[in-house]
Structure 1
Amino acid sequence: MEPNSNFAENQLLLSSAQLQEQLDQQKALASVIVRIRESLDLETIFQTTATEVRLLLNADRVAVFQFDLEKDWEGEFVSENVAPGWTSALKVKVYDHCFGEQFASSYQQGRVQAVADIYNAGLSDCHAAILSKFQVKANLVVPLSRQKELWGLLCIHQCSEARNWKESEIEFIRQIADHLTVAIQQAKHLHEVQLQAAKLAQAAQRDQVIAQIVDKIRSPLDIETIFKTTTQEIRKLLQADRVAIFSFNADWSGNFVAESFAEGWTPLVGIQPTIFDTYLQQTQGGRYVDNETFTVNDIYQAGLTDCHVTLLEQFQAKAFATAPILQGDKLWGVIAAYQNVSPRQWQSYEVESLTKIGTQIGVALRHYKLLAHAQYQAEQQKTLTSVITRIRESLDLDTIFQTTVTEARKMLQADRVAVFRFDPQKDWEGEFISEDVVPECNSVIAEKIYDYCFGENFASLYAQGRVNAIADIYQAKFPGCYIQILEKFQVRANLVAPLLKKGELWGLLCIHQCTTFRHWQPSEIEFTSQIAEQLGVALKQDSYLKQVQMQVVQLAEATEREKAMERQELLAATIDKIRQSLDIKTIFRTTTQAVRELLEVERVAIYRFNADWSGKFVADSFKDGWKPVAQAQPMILKTFEGTDDDNELPRNETFVPIRQGEKLWGLLVAYQNSQPRYWKEEEINLLAQVAVQFGIAIQQAELLEQTKRQTSELTQALQELKQTQTRLIQGEKMAGLGQLLAGVAHEINNPVSFIFGNLIHLNEYTQELLNAVNLYRQNSSLLPSVQEQIDNHDLDFIIEDLPKTLDSMKVGTERICEIVLSLRNFSRTDEAELKAVDIHDGLDSTLLILGHRLKNNNERPAIEIVKEYTTLPLLECYPAQLNQVFMNLLSNSIDALEEKFQTIQQRYLKLSQRCPRIPLSIWISTQAVNNQIVIRIADNGLGIPEEVRSHIFDPFFTTKGPGKGTGLGLSISYQIVVEKHHGQIKCSSKPGEGTEFLIEIPSSN
C-alpha cells in the first residue's frame, strides 16, 4: 500500500502546485486587469504587465512589440522587463523580411507561437538570426490586435536555456494578450476623443480668427490695407513662414501684390519680376478657374516639373497651399501659404481656412471695383461737363482742343491724348495739331502722317462714327504699314474716336498707351465717344464762325484788294532784285529806294549792329529835301520791344529786325518825319518780308565770301600737301637708293678686292717669267743659272697657280659685270616709258641687289629664297617702277624675318634654353591666269595683325621704329600697281605663320 500511498501523495503535491500556479496566474491576471481599468496610459499598462508576467513565469524577458502600420511588418519593442545580465531590446528597429510570408496571416487569426528551442524549431535563417540578436533561445509570442488588425506582439523570451512552454502558461499569456488588446482599443478611442476635442477647440479658435479677418476685410479700408492685414492674420493662424497674395495679368502672367513673412526670409513683393507660369498661361488659369485649391507637402516629392520646382525655390518654399481669389466669376488671383523651413503636411482645415479667406478677399475686391467704377464714372461726367462748358465758353478751336486733351488724359490716365486733323487736299494725309503727353513719351505735334492703307481699312468705319479700341497693336492683326506708324509714336494700345464735321471725317481723337498694353473699359470707350461728339459740335461752331468772319473779311478787303495786289507786285519785284544781285551794297541801295517808294514814306534806312551792340547806318534812301543819316548817329530802340498795341498809336518811325540765321544783324527802318503816321499791319508785314530777304542775302553774301576764303586756303593747302608728298616720296626713293647702293658697293667690293689681291702675285709671276726669258735670249750658256733661278722661285708652283689666278680674276670681272647689269636692269633709267619685259629678270635683279641682306651674318642665319617660276609672256609695263615694288615687298619680308629671328631668340634667352634652328624663307612664284600675270611673294615671318593689315597701304602708316621707315613704301607700291598698271595688290596674313603679297597685272597677250 505504500507505493500507492506515495503515488497519491505525489499526485496531491502536483495538484497543489498546479493550483498554486493557477492561483498566481489569476492574481497576475487580476492585477493586470485592475491596472488596465485604473490607468488610461498605455505605456504604464505595458510596463506593469511585462513586470508581473516576467516574475510570474520566471522568464528572462517580457516585451511588447509594435508594428509600424505604414511600413511592411517593420516595428520596434515599446516596453519590456528584462532580467539582469541580458541586453535590452527597447527602441530597436526590427524588420523580418520573411515575417509576412511565414507568420503574418497566422498571427492575424490569433495564433500563439510557442518555441522551446529556436535552433530545433525549423525556423527560417532570417527569423532565427533576429532572435539570436536578442539572445533568445526559447520564446512565446501572442498577437495583439486592434479592430481585427494586427497591432503588435506580446513576447516572452527565455535567454539562458531552452524551455518547454506549458499549456497553462500559453493560456495565461493568451488571456493577458486579450486584456492588453482591450487596453489598446481603449487607448485608441481615448486618443481619438482627445484628438476630436482638440480639433473642435482649434476649429472654434480658427472660426473666431477667420471671423475677425472677415470683419477687417469688410471694413471700409483701402485694398492695400486689406491685403496687408489679411496676410498678417492668416500667417499667424496657420503658423506659416509666408502668406502672399498673387494677382494675374491679362495674359495669365502675374505679380505678388501683398505678403507677410517671418523674419529671415527674402521679400517677394516688388523684388520678384513678373512671373510667367507656362501651365497657367496655357490652361487660362488651370484648376483655380474652377475654384479648386492646390496643396503640395514636399515640392521635391510631388512630381512637379523642373521649371515649377525652380520657381518655388526662388520663393524659398519647400511646401505650399493655395486657394483661388475670384472677383465675381472671374479669377483675379491666388492666396498662398508657404512653408520654407521644411516640408509640411497640410491639414484639410488649414486649406479650408485659406479658401474662406480667398473668398472674402474676392468679395472685397468686387466691392472695391464697384466703388472705384462709380467714382470713375462720376469723374468722367465731371470731366465731360467741364469740356462741354469750355467748348461753349470759347470760340477758339485751339484752346478747345488743348483743354480737351489735357482733361481727357488726366481722366483716362493715358500716356498721350492728341487731336489728329486730315488734310482735305490730300488722300488721308494729316498731322497732330494738339496733344497732352507724359514726359517719358515723344511729342507728336506737327508730325506729318500718310497711311496709304487707311482708306482701305478704316476710313469708312470711322466715317460711320465707329470708335476703335485696341488693347495691343501686336495682337490686332493690323497691316504692317499701320504698325510702323504706331511704333513711330511708341504706341502699344490705342483708343481712337472719329471727329466728324458736317457728316464728313475731319480728324481723329487719339488716346495712346505707350508703356504697355491696355484693355479699354466700356465706360472709357463711351467717355471718349462723348468727348469726340462734343468736339464735333465745336468744329461745327467753328465752321459757322469762320464763314461769318470770312464774309466780314471779304467785305473789308474788297476796297484794299487792288492796292494790296499792286503792293505785292512791287514787293515781288523788289525781292527779285535782291535775289538777282550778289553785291550786298547794290542790294541795299536798290531795295531801300524801292521800299521807300512802295510805302510812300520819306526815308528807309538799314542799321547794322556791332559786336558790342553799338552800330551805324549802312544804307539810306530819302526823299528830296532831306539830308543823309549821319554815319555815327546812335539808334534809339524805344519802340523795338513794344507790344502789338503800339501799332495803333501814331508815331514817326517803325522798324523790323534783320536776322542772319538766328543772329540779330540789324534793323530795317521806315521814317515819316514830317508828321505822325498810323502804321498798318500789312506795311509792317511788308517790311518784315523784305527784312527776311535781306537776312538771306546777307547770309548768302557771307557764305560766298567764306567759300572764297576757304577755296583759297584749300588751294594753298593742297599745293603745300603736294609739295610735302613729293619731298616724302623723293626721300623714300633716296633712302631706298642708299640701301641699294650700299648693297651694290658691298657686292662689287668683294670681286674687286679679290682681283686686286691677285694682281700682286700675277705681277711677280710675270716678272720672273720675263727675267728668265731675257736671260735665255742673251746667253744660252746661262741656261743652267736661269734654271737654278727659276727653281729658286718654284717654277712648278708658278706654272700651276698662274692659270688659277687668271681664272679668279675672270670670275671676279664677270661678277662685276653681272652686278652692273642687274643694277641697270633694276633701275632701267633708259626705260621710263611702257616696255615689254620679262618679269623674271626684274625679280632676279632685285634679288641680286639684295643679296648682301640675304646672306648669313652675326645676327641671324641666311634667308632661303625659293623660286617657283612658270613660263610667262613678256609684260608691257613700267619696268623701273615695277622693280621698285619688288624691292619694297622683298625688303619688308627680310625685315619681317629678321624681326621673327630676334623675337624667338630673345624668348629662349629669357627661358635660359638653347634656341632651336629657326627657318627663314621667302617664296616667289609667278603664273599667268586669265590674261593676268600673278606674282606672289610670301615669307614665314610673324605675320601682320588684322588691325594693322587693314592700314598697310595707307600713306605714312608704318609699324617700324623711328628712322626705319616713312610709311610710304607700300603706299607707293599700291599706286604703281593699281594706278599705273591698272592691276591689284593684296595682302593676306596669319599671325604667327607669315604674310603673302599677291600682285595681279593685266597682260595684253
Structure 2
Amino acid sequence: MYTEFFNPDLKNQDSVQIEILLNRISRQILCSLELDNILAVTATEVRQFLDVDRIKLYRFSPNGDGQVIAESIDQNRLPSLLGLNFPADDIPEEARVLFKTARMRSVVNVAEAQIGQGFRQDPETGAEINEDIRFRSLDPCHQDYLTAMGVQSSLVVPIPQGDDLWGLLVAHHSERWAASPAQMQGIQMVVDQLAVAIAQDHLLQRASVQAQQESILNQVARTLHSITTIDLKTALNTTVQALDGCGGRLFINRTMLEAIITHRSDAEIMACPFDQFELIAEGTQPAIPSGQRFTEIEQSSAWYSLFQTCDQPSWAVENLYTVSQFRNLQPSFRATSIRGMVVLPLKRDRYSFGYLTIFRPEIATETLWAGEFNPDQRQMQPRLSFDIWKESKQGQSQPWMEGDLQLAQRLGQEFAAAIHQQELYQHVRRFNSDLEQQVQERTASLQATVAKLRDTHLQLSQAEKMSGLGQLVTGVCHEITNPVNFISGNLKHARQYFEDLINLVTVYQTIAGDRPEIKAQENAVDLKFLSTDFPRLISSMQTGADRIHKVVRALITFANHDQSELKTVDIHEGIESILLILHHRTKAKTDTPGIDVIKHYGELPQVQCYVSQLNQAMMNLINNAIQAIEMRWLMTETPIQGQLTTTTEVVPVDELAGQLPRIRIRIQDNGCGMTDTVRSHIFEPFFTTKTVSQGTGLGLSICQHIVTERHGGKLTCTSTVGEGSEFCIEIPT
C-alpha cells in the first residue's frame, strides 16, 4: 500500500483549495512579523484544509527536546498538547536523522499497524527526489503510544530551517484517515511557506538579539568607561539580568593588576598573592563553610588550577555538581539554588587579574508543564513522557546558548578593559601626584638651598667685613697703644721731674731771699699757679691715657677676629665693651636729653660661644635700640629721657622643658616701637624701615642667624607702638 505524491493531474477543486490555503497563510506571513501568530493561523488553516481533529506545530530545542508551540483542535475531540515539553527520546534518533537529511514525511495508520515514509531528498546524495510513500509494519511501542493518546491516524512533515531541522507539522485524527495526494502537496507547500516565515523570523530574532545585546553592551559600557568614576556594582547587576542569572560576582586581584600595569616580570606576576582583592557581589552567592583556608571561591586551589591559566574566553557548565575539579567547592553551593555558571577570566597581557562569574539557578521543571492536569486518559502518555523528561533535567540549569556565551564574552572584555583602564588612570594619577610632590619637594629644597646660599653669602660677606674690620681695629689699636703707653709711662717721670723742679725752686727762694729779679720772674710765670695747676694737668693727662686704654681694650674685645673658635667667656665683658664703644651715642646733647643705661646683671656662668659673632649680634641690637630712641625724639616736639635696659639671667629650670641650661639676655628700649606687621618681617633679609643711608636690612637677619644657627638658641621680639621694644636672646651655656 502506498500513496502517490505530487500528482500533476490534480482536480481543479483541489488546486483552488490549495491556492486559497496558501493565500491565507501568505497574507498572514506578510501582515504579521510575529511567528507565534503565523503558526497559530497556519495550524487552524491546515486543520480545516485536512479536516482532521488536531494539528500541532512542534519545535526542537538545541539539545533535542521539543515543545508544542502551536495547536488547533476540532471540538475538543483530542486533548490539548499545547505548551507541553517532550524529551528527545520520544522521537527515535534514526527518524530524526531522516527528517533532517531526507526531509522524510511520515504517515501512520494505527488500525492497520502501518507506517509510511517518503523522502524529498536522497539520504545519501542530498539530491531532490519525489519518492512516494512506502508503507511497512508499525513498531508496537509506537502503536501503543498513539493508541494511548486516542490517535488512529497521523501525518508528520518536517519543517526545515536551512540545512537544519526546525520542527514538525503533525496531524492527528481520532479515526481512520488518509491524506490525498492533493492534500499532501498542499501541506508540503504550506511547510515551504513556513520555512520562509521561520527564516524571516530567525533573521528578525537575530537582529533583535544583536540589537538587544548591543543595547546591553552600550549600557554596561556607559557605566564602566568613565575616567573618574566606574560603577562596577550597577554594571554587574545589568550583566546578571542580561544573562538571566540569579547572581553574579566580580573578583579583582588588585595586587596582580598593579603588577601587570607596572610591567613586572612573569615570575613576579604569577607569584602575586590573592590577599589584596576587591569583590563585588550581586544576587545569590555561595557561602564558604567554616574551616576552609580561603574566604572566597576565587582564592581556592581548585579555582586557580581551572582558570588562572585558562586560554578560553569563557567556561560554562549547566550543572556544577558534574565537574569533578569543583568537588572541594561544591559544599559552598549546597544551600543555594545555583546550578549553572559561566566564568569569564578578566585578562590583560595573557594574565588573568580577575573573574566575572554569572550563576544560573536550577530549572524549575514543574513550570515547564503547560496547563492544568487533564484527567483525560489520552493525555497520560505524554504526561508520562514529561515525567521521564523531568527526571533527566533534575539538577540542571538553563543551558548556556551560543548567543549567551558571545554576549558574556563581550561583557567580560568590557569589564576587563574598563577595570584595567581605571586602574591605569589611578596609577597615572598616583604617579603624577608623587611626581608633583617630588617636584614641589625638590623646588622647596632648591629654594631653601638658594636662600641658604644667599644667607651664607651674606654671612661670609659680613664675616669678611667684620674680619677685615677686626684686623684694622686691632692694627689701629696696636698703633695707638704704643704712643699711649709711651705717654702714660712718661707722665710719672714728668710728675716726678716737676716735683723735683719745684723743690729746687723752693731751695733757691730760701737762699736768695727777696732779690728783685727773682721776684719779677716768679710773677712773670705765676709760679704759685703753675705749682698747683701742673699736677692737675698731669692727672688729667693720665686720666685721658687710661680712657684711651679702656677704649682700645673694648675695641679689641669686640673685634676679636678669630670667629671660627669657640671660647668660654664672660658675657658681661662683651656687653660692657659694647656700651663703652657706644657711650658717645648715649650722652646728652643740646637738643636731646640723652639715654640712661640701666644694667640688671644676674650671676651668669661662663658661656661657650663664638665671641666675635655674639658681640656683633648684641652690638646690632643695642645700636637698633639707640636708633629707636633717637627716632622717637625726632617724632616728638619735647623729647623724653631715653632708657636702655640690659638684663641678664639664667633661664629658670621650669622653663627649660628638658632643654640644656640656657642664659637669657634682654635688651629693652623706650623708643618708637613697631606694629605687628613690621615685627613679623624684621628678621627677613633686606627688610628695613630705615632709609638707604641708615640701614641695609641685614642686621637683624644676621643676628637671628648668629643666635639660632651658630649658637642653637633663639631670638624673639616684643614691641608696642609708641612705648618701645624688647629683644630677647637665649643661648645654651
Higher RCO (CA < 8 A, seq sep 6+): 2
- TM-score range (shorter-chain normalised) is 0.3 to 0.5
TM (normalized to structure 2)? Answer: 0.37
TM (normalized to structure 1)? Answer: 0.28
